[in-house]
Amino acid sequence: FGLLLCDSLEAAVEGQSPESFDQAKTLRRGGKFQLKPGQFNDDGSTALCLAIALLGSETDNAVIHPSTVQMNLYRR
């Protein structure tokens, strides 16, 4: 969950100058995506889809051909 926490902190300052990074010390709302405090963006969602695809596979297919398994998750 560390990745999602960092993604939530970063979401409020994504695309801004380094001087604005002090805002990333707490979970804030807003930013260019107008997210709620603690809400993660597309980076976190993509990481979750990849993790589910790799961990939820009953075969090695997810490791050999992860894009096929991932695309089924992204389409949901």
Distance CA 71, CA 75 (A): 6
* pLDDT band for position 65 (cuts 50, 70, 90): low
pLDDT at 64 over 80: no
pLDDT digits (tens, 9 = 90+) for 12-52: 777 878 777 776 676 667 667 777 877 788 888 888 877 87
β-partners of residue 35 are 30
CA distance 72 to 35: 26
Query: Same structural domain for residues 27 and 46?
Result: no
- 8 Å CB contact between 36 and 44: no
Q: Which domain holds residue 14?
A: 1-37
Helices (H), the chain: 2-11, 42-55, 61-64, 66-74
Question: Residue 7, Cβ neighbours under 10 Å: how many?
Answer: 20
Query: Based on the domain organization, do 19 and 45 belong to the same domain?
Result: no
Whole-structure pTM value: 0.56
**51 in the same domain as 29:** no
My answer on whether 30 and 50 are in the same domain is no
Domain count, the chain: 2
